[in-house]
Structure 1
Amino acid sequence: MTRTDTGKRTRLVQAAVKVVHEQGFHRTTLADIAREAEVPLGNVYYYFKTKDDLGQALIEQQASHQADLQRHWETHADPRAEIDSFITMTLDNRDSLARSGCPMGTLCAELGKHGGPLAHSASDVFAGILDWLTERFGALETNQEPRQLAVHLLSALQGASLLAHSFGDPAIVEGEAQRLRRWLVAL
């Protein structure tokens, strides 16, 4: 692909992230994504033969973004600070979460209802987050099971995101983040 091709493809994927987050995967059309990316609809088919191909690229972009965040957080030498960075990310996005929900959470929920390869790929992003959190909790050397702690944290944040979106209230995320921070310190 040429540099221009890569730029258009990137714009299409970024547009898909935004539009799918706002509308949902199944309600979003390729025309919606082309319009948001300011790319002619015919060009979409050059980069993505099907909507599922674009969906896979969207999931891969989300996984890459999450991996970049995790690498950044790992600059803290303390696993507790790394976990707190994950909580902070959710807290920092509370307004967006109240408006549209969690991009990965809502995508996983929607795709999970239909099953198939896209649903599996989307759930792999959460699996990667759980693995990363499990490693951090394991480094804390508590007498609790690290995987269970990771599941608790991710579940609490996803639940808070869902409720914040349901009620349009970012304060729900803020309150849960504060409780989770106190819990993290007490471990």
Structure 2
Amino acid sequence: MTNSPRARGTDKRRRLTAAAAEVVHRQGAERTTIADIARAADVPVGNVYYYFKTKDDLVEAALSEHAGNLAAVTAELDALPDPLDRLKALVDGWVGQRDTAARYGCPTGSLATELGKREDGGLGEEVGRVIRLLLTWVARQFRELGLDDPDGLALTFVGAYQGMSLLANALRDPDVMTAQGARLTRWLDDLVAAA
């Protein structure tokens, strides 16, 4: 039995979105071409325009993919009963991606840096939306822990991740993620112990 045309179209769109997220992360938005994404998705270049009219539409789809991945990760972490364990598991997940971070940086952070320099600002604002999703989730964990200034703590926490990801990439050293992840975990323990 073959898939319906609608199912095949949905599959192509999904493959293009996933490929856009991967290729844009590896190459950056400016260096990525529609042909690069089509090749990675195994979709003829001419078909891409049926689903996405411009490269910016594909970059926006990549951001949506990152938001979806973040939602899946945080939903999985929300199954843990303790907010401190959730935050530590998030750090462990980041450290688990240390080789990718050392090679390409953080997918969202790298795009924020690149797209934030554009004059139009549209996609830069979309990147900010994805980062705000993470900040909101992290702040909720600090709030559940009963800590003062959960929004400020969330900025510090996410900023530490962005910093270690950027430095691991700039130095091409995954051990930066390992060492800074351990430091971030100790900081979490110290915060809770002091509360």
Query: Which bin holds the TM-score, normalised by the shorter protein?
Result: over 0.9
TM-score by length of 2: 0.92
Q: Is the aligned partner of 1:81 residue 2:75?
A: no
Q: Is the aligned partner of 1:163 residue 2:195?
A: no
Q: Unaligned stretches of 5+ in structure 1?
A: none
AA in 2 matched with 1:180:
L
Q: Percent identity?
A: 42
| Counterpart for residue 119 of structure 1 | 124
| Counterpart for residue 132 of structure 1 | 137
CA distance in 2, matches of 1:22, 1:65: 17
Q: 1:42 aligns with which of 43, 46, 57?
A: 46
CA deviations on 1:142-168 (whole Å, 9 max, x unpaired) are 2x3111111111111110000000011
AA in 2 matched with 1:33:
I
Match runs of 1:133-148 below 5 Å: 133-142=138-147, 144-148=148-152
Q: Unaligned stretches of 5+ in structure 2?
A: none
Q: 1:17 aligns with which of 6, 17, 21?
A: 21
CA distance in 2, matches of 1:58, 1:37: 13
Q: Is the aligned partner of 1:71 residue 2:78?
A: no
CA deviations on 1:56-84 (whole Å, 9 max, x unpaired) are 11111110110111111000110101111
Match runs of 1:100-115 below 5 Å: 100-114=104-118, 115=120
CA deviations on 1:120-158 (whole Å, 9 max, x unpaired) are 11110100100110010011112x311111111111111
Q: Is the aligned partner of 1:33 residue 2:37?
A: yes
AA in 2 matched with 1:32:
D
**Conservation of the 8 A alpha-carbon contact between 2:60 and 2:123:** yes
Shift of 1:10: 1.0
CA distance in 1, matches of 2:175, 2:189: 21
Q: 1:8 aligns with which of 8, 12, 18?
A: 12
CA distance in 2, matches of 1:186, 1:173: 20
AA in 2 matched with 1:68:
A
| Counterpart for residue 174 of structure 1 | 178
AA in 2 matched with 1:97:
A
| Counterpart for residue 96 of structure 2 | 92
CA distance in 2, matches of 1:180, 1:170: 15
| Counterpart for residue 188 of structure 2 | 184
CA distance in 1, matches of 2:47, 2:167: 38
**Conservation of the 8 A alpha-carbon contact between 2:25 and 2:110:** yes
| Counterpart for residue 155 of structure 2 | 151
TM-score by length of 1: 0.96
CA distance in 2, matches of 1:131, 1:60: 17
Shift of 1:116: 2.1
Runs of 4+ with >6 A deviation: none
Shift of 1:86: 1.3
